[in-house]
Structure 1
Amino acid sequence: TVLTNVNHSMTIMREETFGPTIPIMTYRTFDEAIELANDTSYGLGACIRTNDARLVKRFFEEVKAGTIWINDPLTDNYAGPFGGMKMTGGGRELGEEGLEGFLETKHVHWDFDDEVKDYWFPY
């Protein structure tokens, strides 16, 4: 379902929608588009369609979303992490980052040398 004539105050533009919908909204400047994209409590994903590398760079650096798609919102790379930001954030799945959520890391330093070190405090 394509929704036109929407504005930023509408629920469809302010909340996550997990249905077959795409709302289309106009903007005046690229700065305004980024501001509108970030003006939400959610941040699962964002997509831009352009061949302007300068705009793409600004988009992925400034938009607060867990996944940024460039020119194709339907592709994923399962080697990369997936997850949102803001209220959408619940950690990551997929990729090395997703695996880290299941690990409990412990640092162990074991020095096999029994000699007193000159950098130890004199107890």
Structure 2
Amino acid sequence: MATHNDLGKQGETLAKAFLEASGYEILDENWVFGKAEIDLIAYKNKVIIFTEVKARSGTGFGLPEDFVDTRKQNLLAQAADEYIYLMNHNGEVRFDIISVLFNRNNTHTIKHIEDAFWPSAT
């Protein structure tokens, strides 16, 4: 497995632990629909939270959250629509980003951006 894939998996593991420690229930991990994959689907206070996790080892090309572009947001929205339909969820939903930035000594910082975006209609 490539190093960037290892970093991504490690970021997702840290993000999941962070959410659980913050009182979120994890409903699904790496949920796939069509060309989209939702990293974490969480639930808290009757809200389903679709979470994109981005992990990077540096900021030379931008912050991790900068890599969730409009195309990615719309793919996530399509997958979220299907998930909402399958779960028959009639409540609120939210799209979050969890940014994991690793330092050279393999320590990390986590930034949870709640309500990070609202995808345009597809």
More helix per residue: 2
1 or 2 for the larger relative contact order (CA 8 Å, sep ≥6)?
2
Larger gyration radius, structure 1 or structure 2 = 1
The TM-score with structure 1 as length reference comes to 0.26
More strand per residue: 2
The TM-score with structure 2 as length reference comes to 0.26
